[in-house]
Amino acid sequence: MRIRRTRAERPGRLRRAAGRLRGWGGVSAMAAACAVTAAAVLLPLGHSSPGTGHPGGVVHEPASVAAAPFTLTDTCQDPEASLRPSALDGPTIERIRKAGKLVAGVDQNSFKWGYRNPDGHLDGFDIDLVKAIAKDILGNEDAVIYRAIPTSQRVPALQEGRVDIVVRTMTINCKRLEDVAFSTAYFEAGQQVLAPKGSPITGYDASLKGRRVCTAAGSTGETALRSQGYGSVAVSVPNQLDCLVRLQLGEVDGIITDNALAAGQAAQDPSVQLVGAPFTREFYGVAMNKDASDLVRRVNKVLENYRAGGDQSPWATSYRKHFEDVLPKAAVPPAPKYREG
C-alpha cells in the first residue's frame, strides 16, 4: 500500500530530492525543487538594455497551459529544410546590432543543455551555440541578454518580440513552422522514457498503464502521451526539471522527454535511467520570428562554420565538453538541408 505524505512532511522530501540534484549547487537545487510547488515565474537572466525593442520584466507562465499545438505526424515535406546561409546584413541583423545585444530565449535548468553552474554562470550545449551566434553578429560572445522561458512559451516569446532567437532543445516540426522559422538542424534526438532503476516500466508501451507519467507542457513528449498514453495518467509541468523533481519525490512514476535531455537528467541522478528504445526521430533547431529571414540565413551561416572541422569543429568540441560521459562519443551533427525561398 502506498503511503501518501502530508503537507507537513513535504519540506523534508523537497530537501532530500534537492540533495540528489547535481550541477547547480545546494541553494540552486533547493530552489529548483521548491519550484515544483510554487507558481511558475522565471526571471530574465540578463538586464534589458535601452533601445533593444524588447519589453523587459518577467516572462510569466500563463494561468492555464493549452494543449501542445502540434502533432507527432509531420505533413509537410522536409521540415528540417531551412533557408540557404548568407552573411549579408538585413533589417533584423541591423536592429540587433543597433541594440548591441542578442536576446536569446534559453533554459536555465536542463543539465548539459542550458543550466546554471554553481558559480551562477550559464553553461551547456545550447548556451555555447548562442555565444557563437552573438560573436558572429556582434563580435562578442558575451553580448547576450539571456531570458529564461518555459517550454510552452518558446513560440509566444518569439511572436511577441520578447526574444530574437530561441535555443532551447526545440524540435523542428511542420506545425511549429506555421508559427516560427527554424535554422537547419543542429542536433538529433528522440523521445524516450526515463524511470527509476528497478521500475516495472519498460518503455513507451503497455507497462505505462496506471502509471503517472510526467511531461513538459508544450513538448513533443506531451503530444505523444496525449496521442497514445497506454492507460497512463498524464502529469504536465512547465519545465523538464520539474518532472525530475516530481520523480524523485515519488509523485510520478516516469518521464517522457527527449533522450538527449533525459541523459542530462540521468547524469544528475544516477538512480534513474532511460528504458526502452527511442520512439521518435527529432531534430533541434534555432527558432526565430517568421519575418526574420535575414537572421535565419545568418544563423545558418554560423551553423555551417560551427559544424565544420570534423572532430575539431566547435560543434564537436562542445559535444565532448558536455556529453562525453553521458551520450555516444561517435555522434556527429545532422547534415543541413536547404530550400529555396
Going by C-alpha positions, the residue among 114, 112, 101, 108 that lies closest to residue 141 is 101
Mean pLDDT of 282-287: 96
Per-residue pLDDT at 46: 39
CA–CA separation, 121 and 114 (whole Å) = 10
Does residue 165 have a pLDDT over 70?
A: yes
CA–CA separation, 296 and 90 (whole Å) = 10
Mean pLDDT of 91-116: 95
Does residue 127 have a pLDDT over 80?
A: yes
Per-residue pLDDT at 266: 83
What residue type is 253 in one-letter code? D
Contact of 128 with 260, CB cutoff 8 Å: no
Confidence of residue 73 (pLDDT cuts 50, 70, 90): low
CA–CA separation, 47 and 199 (whole Å) = 44
Lowest mean pLDDT segment, chosen from 49-63, 160-174, 203-217, 308-322: 49-63
More confident residue, 9 or 153: 153
Confidence of residue 152 (pLDDT cuts 50, 70, 90): confident
Per-residue pLDDT at 302: 98
Per-residue pLDDT at 340: 83
Please give the angle made by the CA atoms of 64, 68 and 74, to the nearest 5 degrees.
170
Does residue 14 have a pLDDT over 80?
A: no
Question: Given the C-alpha cell 550545449, which residue does it identify?
Answer: 125
Confidence of residue 22 (pLDDT cuts 50, 70, 90): very low
